Chain A
Amino acid sequence: KQEVTQIPAALSVPEGENLVLNCSFTDSAIYNLQWFRQDPGKGLTSLLLIQSSQREQTSGRLNASLDKSSGRSTLYIAASQPGDSATYLCAVRPSGGSQGNLIFGKGTKLSVKP
């Protein structure tokens, strides 16, 4: 059974620091991995989607990498800002099964201090 883990559960950094968020999954048979951001009391906003054939995706100050064979993905945030404070979740879509089958991690709560 696919499991997705995000460690640490919470992270606090000073403004301006570059940081890496981690996501690991137990089964490498996936179609893709998606990173989301969630602000308190709000829904999830899609940040990046990496297909299984890709190694990385970039959007602005965000860079997500995928190493399927080791079951790992990282989200790199450059020059962090207080506005980046949020919970970041990753989710994998396992190969096979229906399109409803998306497995989420529990998230890393990021706090960027001014």
Chain B
Amino acid sequence: QLKLQESGPGLVRPSETLALTCTVSGGSISSVDHFWGWIRQPPGKGLEWIGSIYFAGNSYYNPSLKDRLTMSVDPSKNHFSLSLTSVAAVDTAIYYCARFRRRAARPGPQDLWGQGIQVTVSS
């Protein structure tokens, strides 16, 4: 059974870079039928899509984060990663990694999610 697991620091200082990794187990990240990506949820609020990436490297980013965001995928380690620079308190959230079904060469429904990782931005 395929599973996703987020890892990374729970606390990041303002203006620093947040780096998270999602490890895929029980299946291959090199699936032609799926994208992989991140969604976050600030405390007590709704869901915000961050971005999605294909194993071959093509990616889609949320325009609101595009200038600070880099996503990468490493098929040899079966994981994908997120890097968000210049973080501030507004970036405090639970960060979920997820598998996206590929639809017309774009990311579609998210059919598998990690458990989420709480990230707090604070000095």
Chain B associates with chain A: no
